[in-house]
Structure 1
């Protein structure tokens, strides 16, 4: 299995990404081969500094980098030799089994949709994240930023994608899927949630348990929480702040420690024809390592094939 890593993506690249690749290699088996995509001479220099053999990796040298603030579509088309563009070309051509980057999120979304493309039947791919639960374990929240505006049938599909992801990657059997709303009652919410509720209630595609409110996100009432990308991103950024607040206040708490993004590595783009993971822009080596491991798990789980079957 070949796992592609963009070593130029992220605020602390390429040092953090190469160090993360080293950390990932130490826990991967001989059946997994990491392909480092980006500035090869720099990568070799960093490996030498850390006394780690370059023979442990494959390299694909690229000459361009898509910056964090660049326009995604323009950057992908105008920088064909960027690490992100090359990574997606390799993924599309079957030269990689998975691809991950902590670089420009928009470029990763554009690359995924226009290169490996959406699974037939999927209206819009979604980005997912994990949320810790008070009583242990975790849940899945989607969408968290790919689609700021959604329609009811799109949210219904997010329920399918999130349920399969929770089951195959986190071994949650018959995941409980809930719709994010401002009240538990069926008639509550805006036009979007009011129209989505009956679709989810009638579906046999997943285990729908009704509406969920913001105060219950970290409870045990749901394993998968479905919402539009605007709301999901607000929840995600708020949740990420909890960990930083505890650090600044000098508080030590096991539950809030689980909000540390480093543990989860990145957000998968669900609904495309290959495993793609987007890491946090401020990813350190630990986060890069876990991003790589998540992309490996997605490739090994048969998740993409199961999603294809679900949307036939």
Structure 2
């Protein structure tokens, strides 16, 4: 298994990326073959002698605030562009970056492309449940405007992810809405509800209100990316508030810290692409590498392709 890492992506790269690699290697029983993509002159002094990774020289960096499409076109020797080239040509099995999110999404959509049958790939976030379980919400920002058919496909993608990666045998799917009753909500929700209800590839449990997100009513909750991103940013603030109020010992609130997950995969593209938070630290990078490893081992992308082909 070969995993490519954008060593130059993120506010604290490459140092935190190097620390994340060391942490990953110390924890993994059978670590993947690592391809460190970045400026060789910068990376070589940071990597210990004999470090079990291959450096792939990438002299350019796409900065966080650059226009994604323009930057990928003009910076062919950037760490993100080279990473996608290696992934598209089969040199690596998964690509991880905490760099420019827009460039990562553009690269995933145009270099790797969507699985045939997937109308729009999506990104998700983990929802820590109060009972100790884990749920997920999607979309959380990739598709701010959606059609009912998109939400229906998000439900399938989320269910496959929940089964394969989260280990939930029969995930319950809910539609984020302003009321529990069928017929509630805006035009999108009213049109999506019957599609989800008739979808025999998921276990649809109906509408989910905002107050139910962190409880066990559903495992996979679907919504448009506009609503999902607002919820994601609000959830992230819960950890910051806990820290500000010196609530350091609450195990549940600590699960809202971004580093616990590390990154999120782009669901619906043909190969594993993991996008991390721009402020990723060593722990977050380590968890991103573990996520990439799990996606390759489980063949989630293959499961998605087979599901949509059927």
TM-score computed with the length of structure 1 as normaliser: 0.97
Distance 1:142 1:112 in 2: 17
Alpha-carbon contact 2:122-2:154 (below 8 Å) kept = yes
Shift of 1:108: 0.5
Match of 2:253 among 249, 253, 256: 256
Distance 1:93 1:115 in 2: 10
Matches within 5 A, 1:22-101: 22-30=22-30, 32-47=32-47, 52-101=48-97
Q: Per the alignment, in what secondary structure is the counterpart of residue 298 of structure 1?
A: helix
Shift of 1:41: 2.2
Q: Per the alignment, in what secondary structure is the counterpart of residue 37 of structure 2?
A: strand
Shift of 1:34: 1.1
Alpha-carbon contact 2:20-2:284 (below 8 Å) kept = yes
Shift of 1:42: 1.5
Alpha-carbon contact 2:2-2:35 (below 8 Å) kept = yes
Range with bigger deviation, 27-36 or 282-291: 27-36
Does residue 1:177 correspond to 2:173, yes or no?
A: yes
Does residue 1:108 correspond to 2:130, yes or no?
A: no
Structure 1, unpaired ranges of 5+: none
Equivalent in the alignment of 1:195: 191
Range with bigger deviation, 28-37 or 301-310: 28-37
Alpha-carbon contact 2:172-2:205 (below 8 Å) kept = yes
Alpha-carbon contact 1:143-1:226 (below 8 Å) kept = yes
Equivalent in the alignment of 2:227: 231
Deviating runs (4+, > 6 A) in structure 1?
none
Equivalent in the alignment of 2:307: 310
- Which whole-Å deviations, capped at 9, do the CAs of 1:175-204 have from their partners, x for residues lacking one? 001011111111111100100000000010
Q: Per the alignment, in what secondary structure is the counterpart of residue 20 of structure 2?
A: helix
Match of 1:292 among 289, 294, 308: 289
Q: Per the alignment, in what secondary structure is the counterpart of residue 296 of structure 2?
A: helix
Question: Taking structure 1 as reference, are residues 203 and 62 closer, same or farther at Cα in structure 2, changes over 3 Å only?
Answer: same
Equivalent in the alignment of 1:168: 164
Alpha-carbon contact 1:44-1:54 (below 8 Å) kept = no
Alpha-carbon contact 2:25-2:31 (below 8 Å) kept = no
Q: Per the alignment, in what secondary structure is the counterpart of residue 218 of structure 2?
A: coil
Structure 2, unpaired ranges of 5+: none
Q: Per the alignment, in what secondary structure is the counterpart of residue 58 of structure 1?
A: strand
Number of equivalent positions: 308
Distance 1:55 1:259 in 2: 33
Equivalent in the alignment of 1:272: 269
Equivalent in the alignment of 1:4: 4
- Which whole-Å deviations, capped at 9, do the CAs of 1:104-143 have from their partners, x for residues lacking one? 1111000000001000000010001111000111101111
Distance 1:120 1:213 in 2: 32
Instruction: Give the superposed CA RMSD.
Output: 1.0
- Which whole-Å deviations, capped at 9, do the CAs of 1:41-92 have from their partners, x for residues lacking one? 2112112xxxx33441011010110111111111111111110010001000
Alpha-carbon contact 1:129-1:268 (below 8 Å) kept = no
